Chain A
Amino acid sequence: MSEFDGRTMRYIDTFGQRFTEAGTYRYRLGVSPYLRLPDGDDDEFEVVVARGEGKAGSAQHHLSVSWSNGRFRPDRSRVEIRSGETVTWAAAEAAVPVFEVAGAGPGGTFSSASLQHEALVAHVFMSPGRYRWTDARDPDLGGTVKVRQVLTNTKTEFDAWVKSVSSGTLIRIVGEKADKSQVEIPVGHTVCWTVEKSKGLALRVDLVADEATETPRTPASPARAKVSAGRSGGRAQKTLRR
């Protein structure tokens, strides 16, 4: 099982989509939500985007996805936003099964499994190890996330760890290029991928080396995640130069 797969989002994952074109977007939640029989259920939900006046908005509207009676539901079946604002989805609790968000509207389609323009996913890394993130459709796009174990024996160390997971690390992908090829974070830290100008990025994150092959470290200076921009093997050639 992948650490992250947009087709099977878990409690520790968040998907977001910025909507810039006005109109009504209908979407579904589930595993392969558009694979359904002709007389299947009709659990579609709406994002209604109003044309923004003046400067585009940047507000966020979060929807908590719950699971009951065999169906996924957001906490609001219809959400009204202004053009330029972002809607995010995440499971309301750990007991919610894996799901995908997929929809379409005047601005095109959007999906957690196929990240297009101005989409994002955030993932909390709960276990140490070395992970590789890839685009299932573009083998040249990818990078590594090293998640280091954090062992705390004092309140000071524990507080330092809490501080280290109180911020996130952004990986920005524009087209076929990412601005970071490697990031190093403490366990419990969140990595957020934002996608711009993509034809559909199928983000996957897989564990490639578990904790046993890594050296656990106490958080000497855990407040910040380490990132590096530049070449990483042959794949860094597409690293975004800003």
Chain B
Amino acid sequence: MPDVLAAIDESAGNDILMAAEAALGTLSNSGSSSFGPFTVSHSETASLSGGSVMFSPPATVSIDNCRLDYSLSFSFGFDLNSILPHGCLPQICIPTPWGDICTPKICISWPTISIPVSFSDHLTFSADFGLGTHLTAGNWIVDITILAVPTLNLGASATALIAAIGLAVAAAVSVVPLIGPFLALAVAAIVGIFAIASAAGFLGALLTPFISGLKFTLFSQPQTFPIIPAAPPDPAVPITIFALTAGVETAGKNELVLSVDV
């Protein structure tokens, strides 16, 4: 029989989840990778909010409709020679006062361009979390850790991302000398390659790290803490928690129950 039992219902669980999300704050990540023919350097931030908690015995916490707001900032490099035609401006001959003068043909070498893209959106997801308790640095902690990465519905976001990339490509490519006659081709080709290489997969790769291994701390308590007696002059009494377990129990309704031995 534990010395102390504490139980919270799903309503209280929602309050705790909101506090845990606020404590988690803004998450960030960065790196570089390749994506199809592109080289990509990226940084992204994300924050979590909302969601509703459900408890399931023996130790599962489900969160439905948790919202992930994210901002992506990435730059991808692309060698225009891989899509634009190689060729030369023709040799031209100009009649001058002392005869025709011909210029050499000018062969075009397209540059590798850097395309900066900023994109913000949000998504919602639902996932099951496993309960865990551990004593870390003198504190008893109860947290929940995501059990499996849920399927993220990125279709609409990917479409919006492709549109954003199209604008960024047009802006980045437009400064390339002599690009005008090839501008429409370049934008269509780059955006097409990006779409074929799966923008949704690209988004998923950037966002999954925020969700994979996601952990919320629900409860934290120093292992030893003082209890102040109700009436002086008795001194404060130090209490030490020797064991703490967490589980979901059904007593009319599902509750998260903490069992404490002191």
Contacts and interface: CB of A to CB of B under 8 A. Distances in A.
B96 interface: yes
A151 B182 CA distance: 7
A93 B109 CA distance: 10
Given A124-B89, A168-B94, A188-B178, A151 B184 contact: yes
Contact of A170 (B96, B103, B183): B96
B252 interface: no
B106 interface: yes
A187 B178 contact: yes
B181 A62 contact: no
Interface residues of A, number: 47
B94 A188 contact: no
Nearest to A84: B98
Interface string A166-179: 11111010000000
Contacts of A48: none
B180 interface: yes
B102 interface: yes
Interface string B82-119: 00000001101111111111111011010000000000
Interface string A73-101: 00000000000101010100110000000
Interface residues on B, range: 20 to 34
B177 interface: yes
Contact of A190 (B94, B97, B99, B178): B94
Contacts of B95: 170
B218 to A, nearest CB: 55
A16 interface: yes
A170 B98 contact: no
Contact of A188 (B102, B107, B181): B181
Majority DSSP secondary structure for residues of B touching A: mixed
A29 B189 CA distance: 41
B180 A14 contact: no
Contact of B102 (A62, A93, A161, A165): A62
B97 A168 contact: no
A190 B103 contact: yes
Contacts of B174: 211
A194 B175 CA distance: 30
A59 B180 CA distance: 35
Contact of B101 (A16, A94, A149): A16
A151 B183 contact: yes
A64 interface: yes
A165 to B, nearest CB: 6
B92 A167 contact: yes
A86 B90 CA distance: 21
A150 interface: yes
Nearest to A190: B92
A189 B161 CA distance: 37
Contact of A172 (B92, B97, B183): B97
Interface of B: 89-90, 92-104, 106-107, 109, 174-175, 177-178, 180-184
17 contacts: A16-B101, A58-B99, A60-B99, A93-B107, A122-B94, A150-B181, A152-B180, A152-B181, A152-B182, A153-B184, A157-B181, A165-B90, A167-B92, A168-B103, A190-B103, A194-B97, A196-B97
Given A90-B103, A168-B94, 12 more contacts: A11-B106, A60-B100, A62-B104, A90-B104, A94-B107, A122-B94, A152-B181, A165-B89, A172-B96, A188-B178, A190-B92, A190-B103
